[in-house]
């Protein structure tokens, strides 16, 4: 992908043993093997880095000293990141905490946080002269890659398993991606796409092993820090599937603190669905991953085998972070409360975060005098079928004024 690291990047560090490498393609540690993950390390930021940030538009590329992109690389023409933060007093009251903020990252080009790593992917693909970008997914990663690739004029091929849901196929096809629907499940589809892509001059966005893409995810925290500064809350909550987002959120807060955007690093609450909680079990138990079947309405975090387990655990230990599980009924309740108390419509995986904060308060993990920020990682219009199960239907009335008046009382 690169011949050499950009000059502001110091190297790649193994999250298991701490060994450092300067070959940009060392993605697994030669000492620790294929389950290891690499973390991008930067040279110390220039003294005027905050002024540089402030001189740029408010989007994720504002923080380019902290992104692993070649200097002068072509950026997407559509805005990625720069999502709004609002304060949510009534939601805070429902949580039972002193204050709450909501960062609505569903307001991204393809309506999820996945646009952040996808934007990094297409910038790197373009800089490397890749003929095509490729990934295997039915979810937000795929629709996001299709969207960002279209914006840069790069062809995209997406492998989807047979069961791919119609709304997501619609997003993929309308963005012009070539969609190969494989007569198999997700795991087989993923393996096939890996083997086929590596034989071709294609850029592979299958995220968990590529150390650069996850750097895009941390920009959600850099922005939060930039938006709130000394009002940065005590806790930041985010939902967890593969664990890339969690690790990125922690890293972004640490870097925001290091460059002086915020006075302290908040603790990060990871929220998993009760039907898919390998990270909860590992962090509260022996620190070992036990792969489990995944069953939850929150499809974007229905992950029984988290591919970035080691990085998420590494980040949680450093941060003093905690994980909690929430069941599907609580997720639907979280979706209603977030919408009705804060005016934000979240897809189930993102609404799980709201349920998780409530659970963490009930367990005494988050104290009543704390402040919290909820990261909403995907828009509710992505999955209206599930949203409709969270609420009653409309009241059917005849086209008759008197009858409607009588109903209204």
| Contact footprint for ligand PLP (CB under 6 A) | 112, 114, 140, 239-246, 300-301, 347, 349-350, 377-378
Nearer to ligand PLP, 22 or 389 (CB): 389
Looking at 14-22, 72-80, 228-236, 266-274, which segment touches Zn ion (CB under 5 A)?
Answer: 14-22
Question: 351: which DSSP letter?
Answer: H
Note whether 169 binds Zn ion by CB under 5 A. Answer: no
CB of 80 to ligand PLP, least distance (A): 15
* Residue 346 contact, options Zn ion, ligand PLP, none, Cβ 5-8 Å cut-off depending on partner type: none
- Closest contact distance (angstroms) between CB of 114 and ligand PLP is 5
User: What is the rounded (10 degree) CA torsion for 100, 256, 243, 356?
Assistant: -10
H-helix or E-strand containing 257? helix 244-258
300 binds, among ligand PLP, Zn ion, none (CB under 5 to 8 A by kind): ligand PLP
Q: In whole angstroms, give the CA distance from residue 268 to residue 201.
A: 38
Nearer of residues 45 and 310 to Zn ion, judged by Cβ: 310
Stretch that binds Zn ion, among 18-26, 166-174, 179-187, 282-290 (CB under 5 A): 18-26
Lookup result for tokens 């972004």: 252
State which residue has the least CB distance to ligand PLP.
Answer: 378
Distance (Å, whole) CA 237 – CA 373:
6
Distance CA 291, CA 86 (A): 37
- Other Cβ atoms less than 10 A from the Cβ of 174: the count is 12
For position 16 contacting Zn ion by CB under 5 A, the verdict is yes
Q: Tell whether residue 29 is a contact of Zn ion (CB under 5 A).
A: yes
156 Cβ partners below 8 Å, 6+ apart?
Answer: 132, 133, 134, 145, 146, 149, 150, 175, 176, 177, 178
| Interacting partner of 350 out of ligand PLP, Zn ion, none (Cβ under 5 to 8 A depending on kind) | ligand PLP
- Residue 20 is a binding residue for Zn ion (CB under 5 A): no
Interacting partner of 114 out of ligand PLP, Zn ion, none (Cβ under 5 to 8 A depending on kind): ligand PLP
From the list Zn ion, ligand PLP, none, pick the one residue 32 interacts with, judged by a Cβ distance below 5 to 8 Å according to partner type: Zn ion
Contact 269, 235 (CB under 8 A): yes
- The strand ranges marked E within 286-333 are 322-326
Q: Which is nearer to ligand PLP, 24 or 243 (CB)?
A: 243
Specify whether the CB–CB gap between 211 and 27 falls below 8 A.
yes
252: its two tokens: 């972004």
**Cα separation, 29 vs 279, whole angstroms:** 22
- Pick the closest to residue 376 from 90, 119, 91 (CA basis): 91
* Placement of tokens 């002024």 in the chain: 51
Region 132-151 residues binding Zn ion, contact defined as CB under 5 A: none
Residue 276 beta carbon to ligand PLP: minimum distance, rounded to whole angstroms: 11
Q: Select the binding partner of residue 242 from ligand PLP, Zn ion, none (C-beta < 5 to 8 A, by kind).
A: ligand PLP
CB of 12 vs Zn ion, minimal distance in Å = 10
Cβ distance 215 to 67 under 8 Å? yes
32 touches Zn ion by CB under 5 A: yes
Partner that binds at residue 142, options ligand PLP, Zn ion, none, CB closer than 5 to 8 Å by kind: none
The answer to whether the CB of 110 falls within 8 A of the CB of 177 is: no
Closer CB to ligand PLP, 105 or 259, in the complex? 105
Smallest distance, Zn ion to C-beta of residue 339, A: 44
Instruction: Please identify which residue in the block is written with the tokens 């898919």.
Output: 276
The nearest distance, CB 345 to ligand PLP, in angstroms, is: 13
Which of 4, 17, 20, 173 binds Zn ion (CB under 5 A)? It is 17
Instruction: Compute CA distances 368 → 89, 193, 342, 361, 364, whole Å.
Output: 14, 48, 19, 7, 8
Contacted entry of Zn ion, ligand PLP, none for residue 383, CB cut-off 5 to 8 Å set by kind = none
Which partner from the list ligand PLP, Zn ion, none does 31 bind, CB cut-off 5 to 8 Å by kind? Zn ion
Contact assessment for residue 135 and residue 106, using Cβ atoms and an 8 Å cutoff: no
């Amino acid at each position: 992908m690169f011949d050499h690291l950009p000059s502001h990047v110091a190297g790649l560090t193994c999250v298991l043993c701490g060994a450092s490498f300067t070959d940009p393609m060392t993605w697994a540690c030669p000492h620790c093997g294929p389950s290891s993950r690499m973390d991008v390390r930067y040279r110390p930021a220039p003294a005027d880095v905050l002024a540089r940030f402030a001189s740029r538009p408010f989007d994720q590329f504002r923080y380019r000293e902290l992104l692993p992109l070649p200097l002068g690389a072509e950026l997407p023409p559509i805005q990625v990141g720069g999502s709004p933060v609002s304060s949510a007093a009534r939601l805070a009251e429902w949580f039972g905490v002193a204050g709450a903020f909501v960062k609505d990252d569903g307001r991204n080009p393809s309506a999820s946080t996945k646009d952040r790593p996808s934007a990094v992917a297409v910038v790197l693909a373009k800089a490397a002269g890749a003929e095509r970008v490729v990934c295997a997914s039915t979810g937000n990663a795929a629709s996001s890659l299709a969207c960002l690739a279209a914006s840069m004029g790069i062809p995209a091929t997406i492998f989807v398993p047979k069961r791919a849901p119609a709304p997501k196929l619609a997003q993929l096809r309308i963005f012009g991606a070539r969609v190969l629907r494989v007569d198999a499940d997700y795991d087989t589809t993923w393996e096939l796409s890996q083997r086929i892509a590596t034989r071709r001059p294609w850029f592979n966005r299958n995220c968990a092993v590529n150390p650069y893409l996850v750097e895009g995810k941390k920009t959600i925290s850099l922005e939060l820090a930039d938006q709130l500064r000394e009002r940065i809350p005590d806790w930041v909550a985010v939902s967890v599937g593969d664990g890339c987002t969690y690790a990125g959120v922690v890293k972004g807060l640490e870097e925001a603190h290091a460059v002086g955007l915020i006075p302290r690093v908040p603790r990060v609450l990871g929220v998993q669905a009760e039907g898919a909680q390998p990270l909860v079990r590992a962090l509260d138990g022996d620190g070992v991953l036990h792969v489990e079947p995944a069953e939850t309405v929150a499809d974007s975090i229905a992950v029984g085998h988290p591919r970035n387990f080691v990085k998420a655990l590494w980040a949680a230990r450093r941060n003093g972070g905690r994980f909690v599980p929430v069941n599907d009924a609580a997720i639907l309740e979280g979706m209603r409360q977030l919408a009705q108390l804060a005016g934000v419509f979240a897809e189930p995986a993102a609404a799980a975060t709201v349920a998780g904060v409530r659970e963490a308060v009930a367990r005494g993990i988050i104290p009543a005098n704390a402040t919290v920020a909820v990261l909403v990682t995907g828009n509710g219009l992505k999955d209206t079928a599930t949203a409709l199960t969270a609420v009653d239907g409309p009241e059917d009335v005849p086209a008759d004024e008197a009858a409607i008046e009588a109903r209204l009382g």
